[in-house]
Amino acid sequence: MSMDFNALAQQFTEFYYNQFDSDRSQLGNLYRDESMLTFETTQLQGTKAIVEKLTSLPFQRVSHRITTLDAQPASANGDVLVMITGDLLIDEEQNAQRFSQVFHLIPDGNSYYVFNDIFRLNYSS
């Protein structure tokens, strides 16, 4: 399978955050029952649990601004690791919160799904 993992990571990242920022309840088709999300200290497995967590986050509006995007092939099977850092603007807040997120993408036919998703806010000390 010949693919440009950097282009894939860019396309996935744009799609994911555009969808998250407009209607995060529609992110379910990016996950599978074996998918796992670690959101801060909470670990969840399966599409239903992940979407419930994402839709229950305590804000109405959010905007992601990507600062860095790095990608690497993760196996000979076409898996891709994607690491993102950026800023979150939540509701009426003026001060952005820094975040980092890692995705492990697995090929599934002509597309990819999220096998692992790790999200952390980055607090400065």
Residue 91 or residue 30, greater confidence: 30
Residue 117, SS3 per DSSP: strand
Between strands 80-90 and 97-108, the pairing is antiparallel
Q: What is the pLDDT of residues 16-70, one digit of tens each?
A: 999 999 999 999 999 999 999 999 999 999 999 999 999 999 888 899 999 999 9
Q: Quote the pTM value.
A: 0.92
User: Does residue 125 register a pLDDT over 80?
Assistant: no
- 18-38 exposure pattern, b = at least 16 Cβ within 10 A, e = fewer: eebeeebeebbebbeeebbbe
Residue 56 confidence (pLDDT): 94
CATH fold of 5-122 reads Nuclear Transport Factor 2; Chain: A, (3.10.450)
Residue spans per domain, the chain: 5-122
Query: Sorting pLDDT into bands at 50, 70 and 90, what band is 91?
Result: confident
Q: What is the CA angle 66-41-112, rounded to 5?
A: 50
Indicate left, alpha or beta for 78 from its phi (over 0: left) and psi (-120 to 50: alpha): left
